[in-house]
Structure 1
């Protein structure tokens, strides 16, 4: 079986309430900085990217998003070049979901095939009113980032094996079509859980059935089933990787 190497890359940061990620009301008092992360997967002759991050901070402010920062070297294409990877080498981009901080730089990877869940794409076109801004939907007066450039799409419907050692798993709740990426590595299987698990704090009590479900929740029942599944995956030895936590960068250092 193929073994892959995962490299988390900081593609900026956002200022937000920790309680928004954990649903803990005591953690809504002050805003903190959280990383916007993308993930490079290498192995088997493949270079795969998971998510493409947010856009230019000034543009994001105009769209009314959470305050964000991005140093020039954190732009995804430049961050990859710094690691010796040309953006044209990325053959596949897996979009976990279509919120603004996960899909704003698709145009930087012109040779890649982009994979998204059908349910996520449909929901991004016409989401619940609460999430119109997160998706930058057409009725907010913008063109969603995923629709702004020519992109080779592969729209899938359900869980799939991408290749030997990499599987796409449905983890709905934060959004209807959120997908995680289960990767076989030399250190064991790792699940890139995206915003199903923004912070490790959310899964501190996972083994005891205590679920830190994010307040950014589209469907609480679906989110609960996702946590049930992640609890079983952990029992099977899967390490769950948080999507907006600085500890993720430390774990792979």
Structure 2
């Protein structure tokens, strides 16, 4: 590997009222509480820092019934990253919890699948059922960045930096992309919402919010092809991530955990 990276999962919000019927298309239990966490991710080495997703702000979180911990940029500052200086951001997809706070990254260029931009601005957004997972201001904000030359589009597989690549893994959203990262422990795949929870891909149980079931199931296989092993796949919202990987530092337990090292369990 030409370059390897440290990867951090940074938790900024959570939702503790979800049940299994909220999390699975075919739930085996409709009533059990099954919380989810909200993350952004940091990929960095001595040469560069890349942020994956920009999360959402407090108003968005509280308006949708989520528990907000702190602004993503505040969480980044606590680990030594100033958002205004970040020059590379990967947006896995344009849903409200992944593509908000764009204005907090004024120097960044954004990496996005061309199919996701087309989906977020196309005919499907005429249907409330589909568009409710998007925020029109986030989408318009990305369009403005397209017009200012700050978006690099990818069509399927694409390199962001040596050892960091994006790969279309649609289904939850049509242009969703995962991120493959070279680390000292192998290739880690930040799945984002290609699989919200470990159980989604491990047991082939699609998440409840899915626009293309067949594509989602194919994406689970794609994640496994890209990662060194199934243990190298990191779901987008699973609280188990914070149990299976060690804290970055003792004082960041439960908030910032390291993903480029072997799992604890």
- Flag the 1:27–1:51 CA change in 2: closer, same or farther, 3 A: farther
The Cα shift of 1:22 comes to 3.1
Does the CA contact (< 8 Å) of 1:194 and 1:243 recur in 2? yes
The Cα shift of 1:25 comes to 2.1
Question: Which deviations, in whole Å up to 9, do the C-alpha atoms of 1:53-99 show, x marking residues without a partner?
Answer: 1222x44454xx3x10112xx21111011111111232211000000
Does the CA contact (< 8 Å) of 2:121 and 2:139 recur in 1? no
Question: Which deviations, in whole Å up to 9, do the C-alpha atoms of 1:152-180 show, x marking residues without a partner?
Answer: 22222221011211110110111110000
SS in 2 for 1:147: helix
Does the CA contact (< 8 Å) of 1:52 and 1:103 recur in 2? yes
SS in 2 for 1:144: helix
The Cα shift of 1:182 comes to 0.2
Summarize the alignment of residues 14-93 of structure 1 with structure 2, pairs less than 5 Å apart. Answer: 14=15, 15-56=17-58, 58-62=59-63, 65=64, 67-71=65-69, 74-93=70-89
SS in 2 for 1:104: coil
Task: Mark the runs of 5 or more structure 1 residues left unpaired by the alignment.
Answer: 137-142, 206-210
Q: Distance in 2 between matches of 1:27 and 1:89?
A: 46
Partner of 1:245: 238
Does the CA contact (< 8 Å) of 2:57 and 2:101 recur in 1? yes
Q: Distance in 2 between matches of 1:155 and 1:116?
A: 5
Does the CA contact (< 8 Å) of 2:20 and 2:27 recur in 1? no
Q: Distance in 1 between matches of 2:200 and 2:246?
A: 19
Does the CA contact (< 8 Å) of 2:224 and 2:233 recur in 1? no
Q: Distance in 2 between matches of 1:191 and 1:233?
A: 7
Task: Mark the runs of 5 or more structure 2 residues left unpaired by the alignment.
Answer: 248-265
The Cα shift of 1:48 comes to 0.6
Partner of 1:163: 161
- Flag the 1:54–1:17 CA change in 2: closer, same or farther, 3 A: farther
- Flag the 1:27–1:147 CA change in 2: closer, same or farther, 3 A: farther
Partner of 1:97: 93
Q: Distance in 1 between matches of 2:195 and 2:61?
A: 23
Does the CA contact (< 8 Å) of 2:52 and 2:91 recur in 1? yes
Q: Distance in 2 between matches of 1:245 and 1:180?
A: 16
- Flag the 1:59–1:3 CA change in 2: closer, same or farther, 3 A: closer
Over the aligned positions, Cα root-mean-square deviation in angstroms equals: 2.0
Does the CA contact (< 8 Å) of 2:180 and 2:226 recur in 1? no
Summarize the alignment of residues 80-229 of structure 1 with structure 2, pairs less than 5 Å apart. Answer: 80-126=76-122, 127=124, 129=127, 130-136=129-135, 143-148=136-141, 151=145, 152-205=150-203, 211-229=204-222
TM-score, with structure 2 as normaliser: 0.81
